[in-house]
């Protein structure tokens, strides 16, 4: 599986694609791409800085799933919740606040997919 860049586990970071880094993946994991986590906002979900996150591409995720989300040209990894015309991206670390988007802000969001697995210590 080719790792295609980094995803913030803090504030969103600029999306850049990095190709050529390959990581082993169990054959039971059905992912389309992977990203390297940066930061500590998802430590409560056991996702740490430097972990590899395997993502299954999807423009839609269910409430409570961990999603890779693009905000304009930046990406972040958070728990995803949608309530009507409001999207909340919730970290798994109490030292960070929720990121809330509504109405016209939603035009700037794009769900990249949901996290299906992660690997630490690579």
Is 41 in the active site?
yes
> For the whole model, what pTM was predicted?
0.81
Indicate the CATH number for domain 2-119: 2.10.109.10
Question: Which of 27, 41, 57, 120 is flagged as catalytic?
Answer: 41
pLDDT above 90 (res 62): yes
pLDDT at res. 90: 97
pLDDT at res. 32: 85
Question: Which of 28, 58, 78, 102 is flagged as catalytic?
Answer: 78
Is 120 in the active site?
no
Q: How is the chain split into domains, by residue range?
A: 2-119
Structure tokens at 116: 């299906």
């Amino acid at each position: 599986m080719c790792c295609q860049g980094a995803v913030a586990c803090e504030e969103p970071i600029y999306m850049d694609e990095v190709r050529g880094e390959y990581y082993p993946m169990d054959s039971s994991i059905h992912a389309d791409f992977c990203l390297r986590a940066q930061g500590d906002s998802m430590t409560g979900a056991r996702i740490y800085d430097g972990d590899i996150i395997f993502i299954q591409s999807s423009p839609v995720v269910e409430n409570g799933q961990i999603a890779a989300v693009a905000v304009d040209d930046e990406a972040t990894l958070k728990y995803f919740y949608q309530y009507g015309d409001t999207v909340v991206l919730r970290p798994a670390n109490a030292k960070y606040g929720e990121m809330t988007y509504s109405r016209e802000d939603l035009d700037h969001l794009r769900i990249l997919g949901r996290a299906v697995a992660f690997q630490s210590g690579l």
